């Protein structure tokens, strides 16, 4: 699994004009991608890393501060643009494989006591965020 994690002062996801997920205070935005070899163990590891990542102010984690997390599925994280101008998406897991694993990351964060908002899997989403810092990391598990 792969995630791009950004520290944000606020963020939201809109689908068809409706806000489906948002965080209104400082926290994290996690764009999450799944590849074919991923399973529950990777989802749990990714949830733990996101929760414990010490990138909030004063080197604190979301767990330390009770900060919210906005999780958004993002199959394009496994896009491969090394050849030509058109990315290949073949490394991204199909929806029936990816969706339950993204849900498992969300569940893992909630089980750790975090407030979690989400986008809508497979939807065309408008993502707005105010990146704080800016701080952006790529996590591969």
Catalytic residue among 45, 76, 121, 136: 76
Task: Report the alpha-carbon distance of residue 95 to residue 73 in Å, rounded.
Answer: 10
Angle at 111 between CA 104 and CA 5, to 5 degrees: 60
Annotated active-site residue in 74, 118, 121, 136: 74
Catalytic residue, from 6, 42, 75, 118: name it. Answer: 75
Concerning whether 121 is annotated as a catalytic residue, the answer is: no
Largest CA distance in the chain: 44
Beta bridge partners of 128: 12
Judge whether 42 counts as a catalytic residue: no
Cα 122 to its chain centre, rounded Å, is 14
Residue whose pair of structure tokens reads 């964060």 in the numeric block: 109
Where in the sequence numbering do the catalytic residues fall?
74-76
């Amino acid at each position: 699994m792969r995630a791009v994690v950004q520290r944000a002062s606020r963020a939201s996801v809109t689908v068809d004009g409706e806000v489906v997920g948002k965080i209104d205070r400082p926290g994290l935005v996690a764009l999450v991608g799944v590849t074919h070899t991923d399973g529950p163990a990777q989802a749990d590891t990714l949830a733990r890393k996101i929760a414990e990542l010490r990138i909030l102010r004063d080197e604190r984690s979301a767990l330390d501060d009770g900060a919210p997390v906005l999780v958004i599925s993002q199959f394009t994280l496994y896009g491969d643009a090394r050849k030509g101008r058109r990315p290949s998406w073949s490394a991204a897991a199909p929806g029936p494989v990816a969706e339950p694993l993204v849900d498992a990351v969300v569940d893992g964060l909630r089980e750790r006591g975090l407030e979690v908002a989400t986008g809508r899997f497979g939807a065309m989403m408008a993502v707005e965020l105010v990146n704080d810092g800016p701080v952006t990391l790529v996590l591969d598990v």
